[in-house]
Amino acid sequence: MNEQTDVKKLTFKDFETDQEVRWCPGCGDYAILKSVQMTLANIGATPENTVFVSGIGCSSRFPYYVETYGFHTIHGRAPAVATGVKLANPDLDVWLVTGDGDGLSIGGNHMLHVLRRNVDMQIMLFNNEIYGLTKGQYSPTSKPGSKTPSTPMGSVDLPLSPCSFALGAGARFVARGIDTALKALPITLERAKDHKGASFVEIFQNCIVFNDGTFDQFTQKKTAANSQIHAVHGERMIFGKEKDKGLVFNLEKFALEIVTIGENGVKEDDILVHDETNKMMAHMLVELTAPDFPVVCGVIYCNPEESYNDAVHNQMNAAKSAKKADFNALIRQGRTWIVD
Amino acid sequence: MNEQTPAGNFDEMDSVCIRFAGDSGDGMQLTGTQFSVVTALEGSDLSTFPDFPAEIRAPVGTTFGVSAFQINFGSVEVSTAGDEPDVLVAMNPAALKVSLAGLKEGGIIILDEGAFNKRNLDKAGYDSNPLEDNTLDGYQVQKLDITKMTLESVKEFGLGKKDALRSKNMWTLGLVLWMFGRDRKPITDWLEQKFKKIPDVAKANIAAVNAGHAYGETVEVSGELRRYSIGKHEVEEAGEYRTVNGNQALAWGLVAGSQLGDISLMLGSYPITPASTLLHTLSGLKEFGVMTFQAEDEIAAICGAIGASFAGNLGVTSSSGPGIALKTEAIGLAISTELPLIVVDVQRAGPSTGLPTKTEQSDLFQAVWGRNGDSSIVVLATSNPQDCFDVGIEAVRIATKYMTPVMVLSDGYIGNASEPWKLPDINKLEKFPVKHHTDTEDFHPFKRDPETLARPWVKPGTPGLLHRIGGIEKDYDSGHISYDPKNHQLMTDTRAEKIANIANDMPEQSVSLGTEGGKLAVVGWGSTRGAIHQAVKRARAENIDVSHIHIGNIWPLPRNLERLLKSYDKVIVAEMNKGQMNKLLRAEYLLDAYSLTKVTGQPFKITEILDCIREQAGDAS
C-alpha cells in the first residue's frame, strides 16, 4: 500500500482482509460487514487513518475482517479503549463495534459515558437480543419470557431499548438500521460518519443459530413496508405498502398514533414531518415497537455539539500557548534552598 | 521580621519529633506542612508523616476524627518520621487521647486548655479530665488557653467567632516556631499569598502567628517553656533543594520520563485515596503534552490508557489496591497485546476498602502474580519521596523499550510524606527517545526485536503497516489469531522470557548499609527503607554484624539477588503485610528467612526493627 501512487478510488474489496471470516453461515454480521466495507469505500476512507475497536462477542470479531487498523479488546470496555485512541490521536477515524451484551450489559457503564462525553466516533451496536458466543443465554434486550439455557422457564426481567438508552445518556446522534438492508444501512452509516461526536447506530442483526427470526415482524420483505418507517429529516413520516399510513401527534393523549390518509378527513399535510433535531420527538419515535407501531429506522436524532476530544485538545492547546514547558522551572516552583 | 539567632537560652538537640494533633477541621495538615517548609528552608533534614482519617469532617471532637501530622527533623540524617514524638501539640481531648500513648516518656505536651470542656471530654471518652487527674504525670505539660488567646489576637479584624477560631492552628504554629527558633517570614509570606483576595483573613492569621510567637517570648522569662536549637544538617551534596512528597515526585518523574523519551503521556484515572493527587498534579501539566482523562471508573481509566498506548502515546493509570483489582483484566490485555503501559498502585491497607488513609505494602502479590493466565509484568517499588522521581523515569524507559506494562508500587506513607529533595537538572539526565516503527519491510505486529524481544510499536495512521491486535493468542510468526497448542506454549514462554531478560538491563542489587556477606541482613522494599536504615545503623553501632538490603526492582528480581542473600547466615524480611516478599523470595530462591511483619496501618518504628535485629543476631551467633 503506497500512498503516493495509489490514486485509484478504493472499492469495498479493498477493505477486506486476508483473514477467514468465522461467523456462522447465514449470520447477519456478514451483511453488516459488507455494508461497512461499502461505506468505507463510499466515504473515501483512508485505511491507515481508520481504526476499528471492539469488545468481546460475535460482533466484536469484526476488526479482524476490515483492512484498517484494529483492536479487539476486552468484554464491554471498547468504548473506553476507543476514547483513549481518539484522545491520543484525534485525526484517526474511530469505529466501535459492539453488541447488546457487550455494549449494554457488561459495558453499559462505558456506553453511557462515551455517549455522554460525545467522543467523536461511530458506534455500531449489533442487537440480536441474545448472547451468541456463549451459546444462547438471554441478553438485556431479549424479549420477556425468552426461554434460553439460563432461563429454562423464560426470562423474567424487562429488556431495555438501546436507542432510548442512548438518548437518555445524552447521545447527539441516534440511528437505526437493519443488517440485511444493504441500500439503507450504508446511507445511515455515512450520516454517522459525517456527524462530529458520538454517533450511535443500533443495527438489528439476526442470530440464525440462537434467536432466528426475532425481528421478522418488521424486517421481512412482505411485512417491512407496513411495519417500518425510514425517517428522513424534513419528510413526512408516511409508511405502508400504499404509502397511505402516517404518524400524527395526538395532543390529548400526548402520544403518537397511526392514521390513514384519506380516512376520517386525514390529509397528507396532517402527517408529522420528521425533525431530527427534536429530542422530544426522537424519544417518542424510538419507543414505537412492532406490532402496534412501525419500527423507525434511519437517522432518528442528530443535533451536534462540540466533541469531547475537541474540547480536551482545545484545553491542551490553550495551556501550551499560555505556558512554556520548562521542566527545570516546574520543579523549582515554590520554595527552594541552596546547599553550598 | 526580626528573628534572633539561637543564643544561650536554647537547648541544643540533634533531632526532634513533633506531632500536631487536632480535629479534622483544625488545620493540622496545613500547620504541619508549613512547619516542614520552614524547617527545610533552615537546612534541617526532615521526614513527615501525615496521619489523617478517611472521613473528610468526622464529628467534631471524636477520637476517630483526629487528624495528625508528625515531623521528625534534625541536624543529623533523618530517614523516618520518628518512633516517638518528643513534643505533642493537642488541640482537643480526643487528640490527646489518641496520641498520648505514642509520646516519648517525659515528653512535652502543649494543649489547648480551652478545648478541655465537659462536652469534648465526653466525646473523647474521658471519664475524668486528664488535666486534673494523674493521666499526664511524667510529662512536661503546657496548658494554654489557645482558643481564648487566638480570639483575642484576631479581635480587631471583626471576624465571626467561627472564622476567628480557624486561626487557632496559626497561633499554635507561631508558638512552635518560637520554641525551635524558626523564621516566621516564610509563613507570613505564604499567608499573604494564599489569602490575597481576602486580606482580613490574611491579616488575622498573621496576627495569630505573631501572637503565638509573642506568647513564647513573654513566658520565656518565667522559664515555663524552653527553647530548642536544631542545627543545620550537613548534606554531602551541594545544590538546590526543595521539599517534595511521593505523589508529587512520582508525577514529576513520569513527566520527566516522557520528556526524556520524547513521548506524550496520557493518564487515565479515577479518584481514589491515596492516589488522587497524582491525577491532580498531572492534570495541571498540559503544557508538557500530558493529557488526563478522569474516567467513569477504574476499568475505563486503564482502558483509556491502553487505547492511548495503542494510538502511540504512553498510557498511564494510577490507583490504589481496590482500583488495581478492578484494572486486573485490562492489565492482561496490555500484556497480551504487548503495549507499553504504566500502572501506579499507591497502596493502602486492605482488603476491600480496608483503611483508605492508612499505609500498607500488601499489594505485592497482586502486582506480581494477581492476574489470570501466566502474565508477567515489570514491578518497581519506590522507597521514599525522592526515589519516586527516579522510579517514574525508569518506568517510562522500561515500558517503552520492552513494550510491557510496568507496575509502580508506592504507598500511602510515601505518597503523602515530605522530604528534602536535591533538584535534578533534566538536561543532564540520560535521554531514551522512543521511535515508533515505520519500516514496512517484512512486517508483522509481533515480529520481535531479537535482543529485547519487544514487538514493534506502530502508530495507527502509518501507511503500509495496517494490522489488528487483540487479547486472543497471536501466532508467533504472523501475529494473526492462533489457537495452535505449540504456539501458545511458545508465546507464553516468550512473554515470560522477555520480562525475565529485563533484569539484565537493570542495576544489580546493592547493599544499602553494611557489607556483602556476613551474619545477618535485613531485607526490605518500599517505604520501610528509612526505618530499616536507622535500625541497621544503630545495630551496627552496637557492633552487631548486620546489613541492609533494599529491593527496588521487584520483578524481575535483580540478577545477583540470590547470590547476595545467600551470602548471609541469616536474613530478616521486614515488610508491612503478612510476609508477601518473604514468600516470594522463598518461592524463587528457597530462602529460609525470618519474616518480620506489621499491619497496623502505621509505618514501622525503628525500635521494632532494631529489637528484631538484636533477637535474630543473638540467635545467629
Residue A6 lies in a domain: no
Three-state SS for A334? Answer: coil
Question: In this complex, do A48 and B311 lie within 8 Å of one another by their Cβ atoms?
Answer: no
Residue A113 lies in a domain: yes
**What amino acid is encoded at A237 in this protein?**
M
Question: In this complex, do A71 and B307 lie within 8 Å of one another by their Cβ atoms?
Answer: yes
User: How much of chain B, in percent, has pLDDT values that exceed 70?
Assistant: 98
Residue with cell string 502511540: B312
CA B266/CA B253 separation, integer angstroms: 14
Q: Name, in order, each residue with C-beta under 8 angstroms of B83's C-beta and a sequence gap of 6 or more.
A: B17, B605, B606, B607
Residue A72 lies in a domain: yes
Q: Are A151 and A339 in contact (CB under 8 A)?
A: no
**What amino acid is encoded at A18 in this protein?**
D
How many CB pairs below 8 Å do chains A and B form together?
A: 207
Whether B441 and chain A come into contact, CB under 8 Å, resolves to no
User: How far is the alpha carbon of B443 from chain A, nearest alpha carbon, in Å?
Assistant: 13
Give contacts of B423 with chain A, Cβ < 8 Å.
Answer: 328, 331-332, 336
Residue with cell string 398514533: A257
Flag the least confident range among A13-27, B10-24, B220-234, B363-377: B220-234
Is the pLDDT reported for residue B621 higher than 60?
Answer: no
Give contacts of B266 with chain A, Cβ < 8 Å.
Answer: 84, 87-88
Q: pLDDT, tens digit, for every residue of A141-193?
A: 999 999 999 999 999 999 999 999 999 999 999 999 999 999 999 999 999 99
Q: Based on C-alpha coordinates, what's the Rg of chain A?
A: 23
CA A327/CA B288 separation, integer angstroms: 8
Three-state SS for B228? Answer: strand
Q: Find, in chain B, the residue whose alpha carbon is nearest to that of A89.
A: B311
Q: Would you call the peptide bond into B351 cis, given omega within 30 degrees of 0 as the criterion?
A: yes
CA B107 to chain centre: 27
| CA-based torsion, A34, A39, A40, A41: positive or negative | positive
Q: Are B413 and B527 in contact (CB under 8 A)?
A: yes
Q: Are B211 and B171 in contact (CB under 8 A)?
A: yes
Q: Would you call the peptide bond into B322 cis, given omega within 30 degrees of 0 as the criterion?
A: no
Give contacts of A5 with chain B, Cβ < 8 Å.
Answer: none
Residue B221 confidence (pLDDT): 67
Question: In this complex, do A84 and B308 lie within 8 Å of one another by their Cβ atoms?
Answer: yes
Residue B465 confidence (pLDDT): 98
Helix (H), strand (E) at residue B47: strand B45-51
Residue A4 confidence (pLDDT): 53
The average confidence (pLDDT) of chain A is 96
Question: Which one of B44, B287, B341 would you mutate to disrupt binding with A, by most A Cβ within 10 Å of its Cβ?
Answer: B287
Rounded average pLDDT over B74-97? 95
Q: pLDDT, tens digit, for every residue of B496-533?
A: 999 999 999 999 999 999 999 999 999 999 999 999 99
Three-state SS for A8? Answer: coil
Rounded average pLDDT over B364-373? 97
Residue B4 confidence (pLDDT): 43
Whether B330 and chain A come into contact, CB under 8 Å, resolves to yes
Residue A133 lies in a domain: yes
User: How far is the alpha carbon of A275 from chain B, nearest alpha carbon, in Å?
Assistant: 32
Domain CATH number, residue A204: 3.40.50.970
Question: In this complex, do A336 and B481 lie within 8 Å of one another by their Cβ atoms?
Answer: no
Rounded average pLDDT over B88-92? 97
Q: pLDDT, tens digit, for every residue of B582-603?
A: 999 999 999 999 999 999 999 9
Output the nine-digit C-alpha cell for A91: 485525526
Give contacts of B301 with chain A, Cβ < 8 Å.
Answer: 80
User: How far is the alpha carbon of B372 from chain A, nearest alpha carbon, in Å?
Assistant: 13
Q: Name, in order, each residue with C-beta under 8 angstroms of A280's C-beta and a sequence gap of 6 or more.
A: none
Whether B436 and chain A come into contact, CB under 8 Å, resolves to no
Give contacts of B309 with chain A, Cβ < 8 Å.
Answer: 84, 88
Question: In this complex, do B240 and A48 lie within 8 Å of one another by their Cβ atoms?
Answer: no
Residue B294 confidence (pLDDT): 98
**What amino acid is encoded at A216 in this protein?**
D
Question: Which one of A81, A86, A106, A109 would you mutate to disrupt binding with B, by most B Cβ within 10 Å of its Cβ?
Answer: A81
Q: Name, in order, each residue with C-beta under 8 angstroms of B330's C-beta and a sequence gap of 6 or more.
A: A74, A77, B299, B302, B303, B306
Q: Are A167 and A296 in contact (CB under 8 A)?
A: no
Residue B94 confidence (pLDDT): 96
Residue A6 confidence (pLDDT): 52
User: How far is the alpha carbon of B236 from chain A, nearest alpha carbon, in Å?
Assistant: 9
**What amino acid is encoded at A125 in this protein?**
L
Question: Which one of A89, A109, A116 would you mutate to disrupt binding with B, by most B Cβ within 10 Å of its Cβ?
Answer: A89
User: How far is the alpha carbon of B164 from chain A, nearest alpha carbon, in Å?
Assistant: 28
The average confidence (pLDDT) of chain B is 95
Is the pLDDT reported for residue A1 higher than 60?
Answer: no
Question: In this complex, do B460 and A327 lie within 8 Å of one another by their Cβ atoms?
Answer: no
What DSSP designation does B156 have?
G
Give contacts of A15 with chain B, Cβ < 8 Å.
Answer: none
Domain count, chain A: 1
Quick one: pLDDT band at residue A91, thresholds 50, 70, 90? very high
Residue among A63, A84, A88 whose CB faces B303 most closely: A84
Residue A340 confidence (pLDDT): 81
Instruction: From A78, A62, A178, A185, select the one nearest A128 (Cα to Cα).
Output: A178
Quick one: pLDDT band at residue B552, thresholds 50, 70, 90? very high
Domain hosting residue A103, numbered range: 12-214+306-313
Quick one: pLDDT band at residue B124, thresholds 50, 70, 90? very high
Output the nine-digit C-alpha cell for B501: 531478560
Question: In this complex, do A53 and B307 lie within 8 Å of one another by their Cβ atoms?
Answer: yes
User: How much of chain A, in percent, has pLDDT values that exceed 70?
Assistant: 98
Is the pLDDT reported for residue B565 higher than 90?
Answer: yes
Is the pLDDT reported for residue A327 higher than 70?
Answer: yes
Q: pLDDT, tens digit, for every residue of A283-319?
A: 999 999 999 999 999 999 999 999 999 999 999 999 9
Instruction: From A122, A104, A216, A114, select the one nearest A164 (Cα to Cα).
Output: A104
Q: Find, in chain B, the residue whose alpha carbon is nearest to that of A316.
A: B286
Question: Which one of B34, B44, B243, B303 would you mutate to disrupt binding with A, by most A Cβ within 10 Å of its Cβ?
Answer: B303
Q: pLDDT, tens digit, for every residue of B393-434?
A: 999 999 999 999 999 999 999 999 999 999 999 999 999 999
User: How far is the alpha carbon of A138 from chain B, nearest alpha carbon, in Å?
Assistant: 24
Residue with cell string 527545610: B40
Output the nine-digit C-alpha cell for A258: 397511526
Whether B288 and chain A come into contact, CB under 8 Å, resolves to yes
Is the pLDDT reported for residue B2 higher than 80?
Answer: no
- Phi, psi at B217, each rounded to 5°: -65, -35
**What amino acid is encoded at B99 in this protein?**
S
User: How far is the alpha carbon of A67 from chain B, nearest alpha carbon, in Å?
Assistant: 7
Question: In this complex, do A72 and B470 lie within 8 Å of one another by their Cβ atoms?
Answer: yes
Question: In this complex, do B307 and A315 lie within 8 Å of one another by their Cβ atoms?
Answer: no
Whether B289 and chain A come into contact, CB under 8 Å, resolves to yes
Question: In this complex, do B305 and A87 lie within 8 Å of one another by their Cβ atoms?
Answer: no
Whether B471 and chain A come into contact, CB under 8 Å, resolves to yes
Q: pLDDT, tens digit, for every residue of A266-275?
A: 999 999 999 9
Question: In this complex, do A325 and B287 lie within 8 Å of one another by their Cβ atoms?
Answer: yes
Residue A300 lies in a domain: no
Give contacts of A316 with chain B, Cβ < 8 Å.
Answer: 286, 289, 291
Question: Which one of A50, A308, A324, A327 would you mutate to disrupt binding with B, by most B Cβ within 10 Å of its Cβ?
Answer: A327
Cα dist from A99 to A31, A82, A108, B39, whole Å: 15, 15, 11, 60
Residue A116 lies in a domain: yes
Flag the least confident range among A1-10, A189-198, A313-322, B239-248: A1-10
Quick one: pLDDT band at residue B24, thresholds 50, 70, 90? confident
CA B236/CA A4 separation, integer angstroms: 61
Residue among B308, B422, B468 whose CB faces A88 most closely: B308
Residues B439-462 as b/e (b if ≥16 CB within 10 A, e otherwise) read eeeebbbbebeeeebbbbbbbbbb
**Which residues of B, range 215-274, sit inside 8 Å of A by Cβ?**
235, 237-243, 252, 255-256, 259, 264, 266, 268
Rounded average pLDDT over B271-288? 98
- Phi, psi at B260, each rounded to 5°: -70, -35
Question: In this complex, do B333 and A74 lie within 8 Å of one another by their Cβ atoms?
Answer: yes
Question: In this complex, do A89 and B255 lie within 8 Å of one another by their Cβ atoms?
Answer: no
Whether B429 and chain A come into contact, CB under 8 Å, resolves to no
Cα dist from B207 to B22, B29, B146, B378, whole Å: 21, 20, 14, 53
CA B185/CA B439 separation, integer angstroms: 60
Output the nine-digit C-alpha cell for A225: 413496508
CA B409/CA B367 separation, integer angstroms: 8
Give contacts of B463 with chain A, Cβ < 8 Å.
Answer: 1-3, 48
Give contacts of A121 with chain B, Cβ < 8 Å.
Answer: none
Question: In this complex, do B289 and A316 lie within 8 Å of one another by their Cβ atoms?
Answer: yes
Quick one: pLDDT band at residue B237, thresholds 50, 70, 90? confident
Residue A270 lies in a domain: no
Residue A328 confidence (pLDDT): 98
CA B265/CA A309 separation, integer angstroms: 16
Residue A277 lies in a domain: no
Is the pLDDT reported for residue B114 higher than 60?
Answer: yes
Residue B6 confidence (pLDDT): 43
Provide the whole-model pTM: 0.94
Residue with cell string 418488521: A218
